[in-house]
Amino acid sequence: MAKIGVFICHCGENIGAKVDCSRLAEALGEHPGVAVSVEYKYFCSDPGQESVKKAIRDNNLTGVVVAACSPRMHEATFRKACAEAGLNPYQCEIANIREQCSWVHTDKDMATEKAMDITRSMVEKVKRNNNLQPIEVPVTRRALVIGGGIAGIQAALDIANAGQEVVLVEREPSLGGHMAQLSETFPTLDCSQCIMTPRMVEAAQHPNIRLLTYAEIESVDGYIGNFKVKVRMKSRCVDMNSCTGCGDCITKCPLKKIPSEFDCGLGKRTAIYTPFAQSVPNKPVIDKANCIYFKNGKCKICTKSCQFNSINFEMQDEFIELEIGAIVVATGFQVQNNAQYGEYGYGKYPDVINGLQFERLASASGPTAGKILRPSDGKEPQTVVFIQCAGSRDPSKGVRYCSKICCMYTAKHAMLYAHKVHDGKTHIFYMDIRAAGKGYDEFSRRAIEEDEASYVRGRVSKVWQENGKLMVRGVDTLLGKPVEIAADMVVLATTMIPQPDAKEFAKTIGIGYDEYGFYNEAHLKLRPVESSTAGIFLAGACQSPKDIPDSVAQASASASKVLALFSKDKLEREPVIAINNEATCAGCWGCVLACPYNAIEKKDILDRSGRLIKRVAFVNPGLCQGCGTCVTFCRSNSIDLAGFTEKQIFAEVMGL
């Protein structure tokens, strides 16, 4: 016979203020099958848990219902306590009377009634709970890091330095991401390439890191500890083994005017190219969209110039299958295209550029070798206007969020400009200066006090060209006056937005994303580097706009999560898995198709002489994640989910 213990928690005032816990305990005490019904201020506390254990032992309870907060909070806590008292942990259920009741209601009487319903419904479920045993699954100790920007490189190095294997996949021909494009970095103004390139080289040469560049993730199957990943190695048309990176082909390629992506269109490149001089690996690829041979079948000049016979126009994409235990997603961001702000003239006037383009102008490795020269005529601009929040915090046309790094990089740009053009003038239109971070406010103060950046608090309404100048009209809200500035160059502090394919990619690997396409963490405060999919972690700007220190910190945090996972041989998994009734299964294979984890196989049922009687679905317990999709799909109602069986759920519903 069922002997259920009901433990009603006040959660301090959280529940106690809105639910009459004494009444609740009394009412549940009268419910059939309930042997104990008690209340307490904090059951999750040590004495609270002890009292639950004691009640189990003293009364030989067969099941426990803790009426408290969300099971996400403390289900594990109470199941552990039950196990310690000798009860199968899966005989413990949580009735959520906080998030689903006290927090959302104001009328105490009605909230109490509702809490009774919720708790009774759980008692009815627990009466039908079965003893379950956790499932053990092996862990493949190999991590996949997707994205070779600073975040991905940092995560890969941390995992590799701890002695575990890493596969680092980057879709561009070289590692580096955006950080490789930056000139100098706030708040210390050290040269980005000087701190970045050694990391890139270290990652490429690390014995524990397998680097796959110019590669894309085709598919991710499986689950934590046991992912199966297919990678497409895009054909470079250059044999990585024999190519020495001498660059003869690049010098000979007749196409020299392709806008360089790395230089944000301010510089030019050839059709066979490396994105930048310090590329890792320093071996070229052929840009098939532009290459003359791929367009009309003639040319192959590069082939002739290569002493090592490394160029192969017939090269095809190849596929690699990987067994992976954990994944770090570090796919970064892109900057928004400002052409949608017609009033700023981006795309119309060549001297209106974005922040990333300014980085290239200021970079020693950039198209102007670090001289600030404006794109239209190569002259040194004497007056530069910076417009902050170009796209950020603008619900009407841009994005609602703050891009976080633009205040800082604009201050940096003003400083870099002042250091290079000593008599130049800078004007910065801003909404607020958000400089929270170690050394950040000091940094932006320096831009104002030492490098004489003139900050104008207000928005720009229009930029137009007049007598060879860019006229900037805005408003100074502190003076309450309109301002007009004749500038030689305008720099837009463009918003960081998700990669163009961020949402699609999230679906490929099976993680969640927000309305913009930034990847969702499992819990913003308590689990900020885990995605909601077990075994997949996040690092860097793919999660939200971030600067380098934040990206690196998150990457190291992800690496530590991966290492914690790899510290065990086997993972213990919840035994919440689907079980199919072979007698009633119609073999329609709907569940096979519907299962997002490919956990369902087709099984032959044979008679004694080995003749096929019928084919039915079979759930592989190692693969099933207990999502319940198949249960909802099966028309013949053949599948049941352990821990959430139809009987349990039915009883729960009827208990309401």
Partner 1 sequence: MITQEQYRTRVKELLSSGTVKMVIGYKPGSTPDRRRPLFIRTAEEANRLVLDSACITNLSGYLVTEGLLSDEKKVAIFLRPEGIRSINILAAESQLNADQIIILGFDSTGSVVKTLDGTHAGDFSELLGSIKQNSPVKPSEVLFEQVEQMTPAERFAFWQEEFSRCIKCYACRQACPMCYCRRCIVDSNQPQWVNTSSHTLGNFEWNIVRAFHLAGRCVECGNCGRACPVNIPLRLINRRMAQEVIEAFDHFPGLNQTQEPVLASFKKDDSETFIL
Ligand X SMILES: Cc1cc2nc3c(=O)[nH]c(=O)nc-3n(C[C@H](O)[C@H](O)[C@H](O)COP(=O)(O)OP(=O)(O)OC[C@H]3O[C@@H](n4cnc5c(N)ncnc54)[C@H](O)[C@@H]3O)c2cc1C
| Residues found near ligand SF4 in the complex (CB under 6 A) | 577-578, 580, 585-591, 594-595, 597, 599-600, 617, 619, 624-630, 633-634, 636, 638-639, 641
Cis peptide before 187 (omega within 30 of 0): yes
Question: Do 275 and 173 touch, CB atoms closer than 8 A?
Answer: yes
Nearer of residues 555 and 599 to ligand X, judged by Cβ: 555
Among 499, 531, 580, 629, indicate the residue that binds ligand X (CB under 6 A): 499
Which are the contacts of 59, defined by CB distance < 8 A and separation ≥ 6? Answer: 3, 5, 35, 36
Answer with the entry of ligand X, ligand SF4, partner 1, none that 646 interacts with (C-beta below 5 to 8 A by kind): partner 1
Stretch that binds partner 1, among 300-308, 355-363, 549-557, 582-590 (CB under 8 A): 582-590
Nearer of residues 530 and 652 to partner 1, judged by Cβ: 652
Label residue 95 left, alpha or beta by phi (over 0 means left) and psi (-120 to 50 means alpha). Answer: beta
Residue 224 to residue 222: CA distance in whole angstroms: 7
Tokens 């206007």: give the residue. 385
Note whether 482 binds partner 1 by CB under 8 A.
Answer: no
Nearer of residues 147 and 626 to ligand SF4, judged by Cβ: 626
**Pattern 67-86, partner 1, x by CB under 8 A:** --------------------
Closest distance to ligand X from the beta carbon of 259 (Å)? 18
Note whether 356 binds ligand X by CB under 6 A.
Answer: yes
Residue-wise DSSP of 131-175: ---PEEEE---EEEEE--SHHHHHHHHHHHHTT-EEEEEESSSSS
Which are the contacts of 286, defined by CB distance < 8 A and separation ≥ 6? Answer: 236, 237, 238, 271, 272, 294, 302, 311, 313
For 516, the token pair is: 């913009």
Residues 295-354 close enough to bind ligand X by CB under 6 A: 330-333, 335
Nearer of residues 330 and 591 to ligand X, judged by Cβ: 330
Nearer of residues 99 and 451 to ligand X, judged by Cβ: 451
Among 48, 63, 89, 149, indicate the residue that binds ligand X (CB under 6 A): 149
**Pattern 153-172, ligand X, x by CB under 6 A:** ----------------xxxx
Closest distance to partner 1 from the beta carbon of 535 (Å)? 21
Nearer of residues 405 and 577 to ligand X, judged by Cβ: 405
What angle is formed at CA 442 by the lines to CA 441 and CA 446, rounded to 5 degrees? 115
Query: How distant, in Å, are the alpha carbons of 34, 69, 348, 434, 573 from that of 397?
Result: 59, 41, 18, 21, 46
Note whether 178 binds ligand X by CB under 6 A.
Answer: yes
Stretch that binds ligand X, among 59-67, 122-130, 223-231, 540-548 (CB under 6 A): 540-548
> Where is 383: in which H helix or E strand?
strand 383-390
Note whether 263 binds ligand X by CB under 6 A.
Answer: no
Question: Do 311 and 205 touch, CB atoms closer than 8 A?
Answer: no
Residue 187 to residue 439: CA distance in whole angstroms: 6
Closest distance to ligand X from the beta carbon of 336 (Å)? 10
Among 63, 89, 177, 458, indicate the residue that binds ligand X (CB under 6 A): 177
Among 24, 548, 559, 616, indicate the residue that binds ligand X (CB under 6 A): 548
Note whether 148 binds ligand X by CB under 6 A.
Answer: yes
Nearer of residues 334 and 560 to ligand X, judged by Cβ: 334
Among 125, 269, 546, 561, indicate the residue that binds ligand X (CB under 6 A): 546
Question: Do 474 and 460 touch, CB atoms closer than 8 A?
Answer: yes
Closest distance to ligand SF4 from the beta carbon of 583 (Å)? 11
Edge-first strand order for the sheet with 425-430 is 352-354, 489-494, 383-390, 425-430, 454-457
- CA-nearest of 173, 175, 293, 144 to 240 is 173
Closest distance to partner 1 from the beta carbon of 219 (Å)? 12
Residues 250-289 close enough to bind partner 1 by CB under 8 A: none
Among 42, 103, 633, 644, indicate the residue that binds partner 1 (CB under 8 A): 633
What angle is formed at CA 462 by the lines to CA 461 and CA 465, rounded to 5 degrees? 165
Answer with the entry of ligand X, partner 1, ligand SF4, none that 578 interacts with (C-beta below 5 to 8 A by kind): ligand SF4
Residues 589-628 close enough to bind partner 1 by CB under 8 A: 589-591, 593-594, 596, 615
Phi/psi of residue 580, nearest 5 degrees: -100, 140
10 Å CB burial of residue 257 (0-12, 13-18, 19+) is: exposed
Nearer of residues 216 and 652 to ligand X, judged by Cβ: 216
Residue 543 to residue 517: CA distance in whole angstroms: 9
- CB atoms inside a 10 Å sphere around CB 412: 25
Question: Do 371 and 380 touch, CB atoms closer than 8 A?
Answer: yes
Closest distance to ligand SF4 from the beta carbon of 588 (Å)? 4
- CA-nearest of 21, 365, 347, 344 to 176 is 365
Note whether 374 binds ligand X by CB under 6 A.
Answer: no
Answer with the entry of ligand X, ligand SF4, partner 1, none that 335 interacts with (C-beta below 5 to 8 A by kind): ligand X
- CA-nearest of 331, 329, 325 to 143 is 325
Nearer of residues 237 and 619 to partner 1, judged by Cβ: 619
Answer with the entry of ligand X, partner 1, ligand SF4, none that 651 interacts with (C-beta below 5 to 8 A by kind): partner 1
Among 478, 564, 586, 656, indicate the residue that binds partner 1 (CB under 8 A): 586
SS3 612: strand
DSSP bridge pairs for 221? 228
DSSP bridge pairs for 65? 6, 93
Stretch that binds ligand X, among 103-111, 179-187, 247-255, 281-289 (CB under 6 A): 179-187
Footprint on this chain of partner 1 (rule: CB under 8 A): 504, 507, 583-591, 593-594, 596, 615, 633, 635-638, 646-647, 650-651
Footprint on this chain of ligand X (rule: CB under 6 A): 146-152, 169-172, 177-179, 182, 185-186, 216-217, 330-333, 335, 355-356, 359, 405, 409, 412, 496, 499, 505, 540-541, 546-549, 551
